[in-house]
């Protein structure tokens, strides 16, 4: 059997982080088994579905590196097929028309509550003769669900899930206007697309038994269900915006790399020993549903930051430069010059080791991309009092004839100058950092001098005078 999985988002908003993890798990399982991963957009809610949301979902998947097989299926284009299946169940006696009005259903619910029962449809029209139907009422089509026994789901993550059929009512398949309900549409689409494994959040677990009844009413094979735990915040509460329930595009805008997000989402509810940094190739090789945890995973920004920092350290230099250059330009309004780009390339390794996100990297990189004269942070400006400027002027004179502009040679030269001036190194190094970077924190000052080069270093020292 060829494994076929799917991701079926509703395009009413962005691709949120929980949906991205669901897509990732489906994609990994399909790639792990040599199967197919399909994408279906469940856009039957025309009032809430938007083209912007569809585009955001597709863009988010592409940014994450999650590709799908074949064409995208749009559920709204398949309504006739969904209705066809409902009518087939009618003909087979596995569904029936129901003429209950909204008022009748409301009374039914109120009576059930008053009697201490769950408010559900009581099967009023299950066995009544259609000749008794009231005039002027368009009927819905309901599933003739089994009333005795149990519906059993052998879930690949949650284990055996048993639901007494007395807890399930005859759900609506077609509304009074003839449009299909979600429960019918999703089953028909999954069957027609050949889905073998339905991997989704465990908030859908209650739907599994109902959907299994539709499969069995049609004589179709029931797919393997795998309901993965939801994501909670670091405090254990339901994930919200304050925890990180944002769109994938927001994480991109916050400076996270897609491979870091993939790796982090993979570890939310799935594990492979003590491995933390897992490449895509390893994830495809190792991923299996049996290793998915049953308990809720916790989203922790601190862990994501640390993981992202690791990926920044190993990312290809040209790619990082391509990511930070437009950020610097957008923030400063100035396109980095050729000389600035050269400095950025030379200083990248020292910068990336201090950056957890691409935004931090771009901000830190301004010490090399900024043109003279520099703007000084307030704390840096405080260090540049007249005495400090005098010491820097003397240092500049001492360095004018210094030709070995390597980090090691510069350290020796500056320390030697401090000794000849009977000064502690900090009295020179601190204002030196301020005048060369405009800040009080940066990579090692001798590394900064080497990256800037002799002309730029002496020029910035001259500006300080």
Whether residue 246 is predicted with pLDDT greater than 90 in this model: the reply is: no
- Domain 78-183 bears CATH identifier 3.40.50.12590: no
Q: What is the mean pLDDT of residues 261-274?
A: 93
What pTM was computed for the model? Answer: 0.91
Residues of the chain with pLDDT > 90: what percent? 82
Would you state the pLDDT for residue 12? 85
Would you state the pLDDT for residue 343? 94
CA-to-CA dists, residue 12 to 44, 66, 204, angstroms: 10, 20, 18
Would you state the pLDDT for residue 241? 59
Would you state the pLDDT for residue 296? 87
Q: What is the mean pLDDT of residues 45-57?
A: 88
Q: Of residues 128 and 112, which shows the higher confidence score?
A: 128
Confidence of residue 430 (pLDDT cuts 50, 70, 90): very high
Confidence of residue 245 (pLDDT cuts 50, 70, 90): low
Would you state the pLDDT for residue 46? 79
Kindly report, residue by residue over 329-366, the tens digit of the pLDDT: 999 888 888 899 999 999 999 999 999 999 999 999 99
Confidence of residue 112 (pLDDT cuts 50, 70, 90): confident
Whether residue 93 is predicted with pLDDT greater than 90 in this model: the reply is: yes
Active site residues: 241
Would you state the pLDDT for residue 243? 57
CB 427 within 8 A of CB 415: no
Whether residue 277 is predicted with pLDDT greater than 60 in this model: the reply is: yes
Ordered by start, the domain boundaries in the chain are 1-71+229-314, 78-183, 315-369, 378-464
Whether residue 244 is predicted with pLDDT greater than 60 in this model: the reply is: no
Confidence of residue 464 (pLDDT cuts 50, 70, 90): confident
Would you state the pLDDT for residue 99? 96
Q: Which of 168-172, 269-273, 392-396 has the lowest mean pLDDT?
A: 269-273
Whether residue 463 is predicted with pLDDT greater than 70 in this model: the reply is: yes
Whether residue 465 is predicted with pLDDT greater than 80 in this model: the reply is: no
Confidence of residue 237 (pLDDT cuts 50, 70, 90): confident
Q: What is the mean pLDDT of residues 85-100?
A: 97
Would you state the pLDDT for residue 273? 87
Kindly report, residue by residue over 389-401, the tens digit of the pLDDT: 999 999 999 999 9
Whether residue 240 is predicted with pLDDT greater than 70 in this model: the reply is: no
Would you state the pLDDT for residue 233? 79
Classify the C-alpha dihedral 162-168-174-177 as positive or negative: negative
CA dist 193 and 441 (Å) reads: 57
Question: What are φ and ψ of residue 106, in 5° steps?
Answer: -65, -40
**How high is the mean pLDDT of the chain?**
93
Level-2 CATH architecture, domain 1-71+229-314: 3-Layer(aba) Sandwich (3.40)
Whether residue 187 is predicted with pLDDT greater than 60 in this model: the reply is: yes
Q: What is the mean pLDDT of residues 371-383?
A: 91
Q: Which of 98-102, 237-241, 286-290, 298-302 has the lowest mean pLDDT?
A: 237-241
Q: What is the mean pLDDT of residues 276-302?
A: 93
Q: What is the mean pLDDT of residues 188-215?
A: 96
Would you state the pLDDT for residue 13? 82
Whether residue 242 is predicted with pLDDT greater than 80 in this model: the reply is: no
Would you state the pLDDT for residue 424? 94
- Domain 378-464 bears CATH identifier 1.10.10.350: yes
């Amino acid at each position: 059997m060829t494994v076929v999985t799917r991701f079926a988002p509703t395009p009413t908003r962005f691709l949120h982080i929980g949906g991205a993890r669901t897509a990732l798990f489906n994609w990994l399982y399909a790639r792990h088994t040599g199967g197919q991963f399909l994408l279906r957009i469940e856009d039957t809610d025309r009032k809430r579905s938007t083209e912007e949301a569809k585009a955001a979902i597709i863009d988010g998947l592409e940014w994450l590196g999650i590709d799908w097989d074949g064409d995208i299926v749009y559920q709204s284009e398949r309504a006739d097929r969904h209705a066809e299946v409902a009518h087939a169940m009618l003909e087979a006696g596995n569904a029936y028309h129901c003429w209950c009005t909204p008022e009748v259903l409301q009374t039914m619910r109120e009576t059930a509550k008053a009697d201490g029962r769950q408010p559900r449809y009581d099967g009023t029209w299950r066995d009544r003769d259609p000749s008794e139907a009231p005039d002027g009422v368009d009927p819905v089509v309901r599933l003739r669900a089994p009333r005795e026994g149990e519906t059993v789901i052998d879930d690949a993550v949650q284990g055996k899930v048993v639901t007494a059929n007395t807890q399930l009512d005859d759900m609506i398949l077609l509304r009074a206007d003839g449009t299909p309900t979600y429960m019918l549409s999703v089953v028909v689409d999954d069957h027609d697309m050949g889905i073998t494994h339905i991997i989704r959040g465990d908030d859908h677990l209650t739907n599994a038994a109902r959907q299994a009844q539709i499969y069995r009413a049609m004589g179709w094979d029931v797919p393997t269900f795998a309901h993965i735990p939801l994501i909670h915040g670091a405090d254990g509460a339901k994930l919200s915006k304050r925890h990180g329930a944002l769109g994938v595009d927001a994480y991109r805008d916050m400076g996270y790399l897609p491979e870091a997000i993939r790796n982090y989402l993979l570890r939310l509810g799935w594990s492979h020993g003590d491995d933390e940094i897992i490449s895509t190739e390893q994830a495809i090789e190792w991923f299996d549903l049996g290793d998915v945890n049953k308990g809720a995973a916790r989203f922790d920004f601190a862990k994501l930051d640390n993981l992202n920092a690791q990926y920044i350290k190993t990312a290809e230099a040209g790619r990082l430069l391509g990511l930070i250059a437009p950020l610097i330009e957008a923030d400063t309004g100035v396109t980095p010059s050729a000389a600035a780009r050269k400095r950025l390339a030379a200083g990248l390794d020292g910068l990336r080791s201090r950056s957890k996100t691409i935004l931090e990297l771009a901000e830190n990189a301004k010490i090399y991309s900024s043109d003279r004269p520099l703007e000084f942070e307030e704390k840096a400006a405080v260090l540049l009092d007249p005495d400090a400027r005098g010491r820097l002027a003397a240092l500049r004179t001492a360095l004018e004839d210094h030709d070995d502009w390597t980090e090691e040679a510069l350290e020796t030269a500056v320390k030697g100058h401090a000794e000849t001036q009977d000064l502690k190194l900090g009295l020179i190094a601190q204002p030196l950092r301020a005048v060369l970077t405009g800040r009080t924190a940066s990579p090692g000052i001798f590394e900064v001098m080497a990256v800037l080069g002799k002309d730029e270093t002496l020029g910035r020292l001259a500006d300080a005078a």
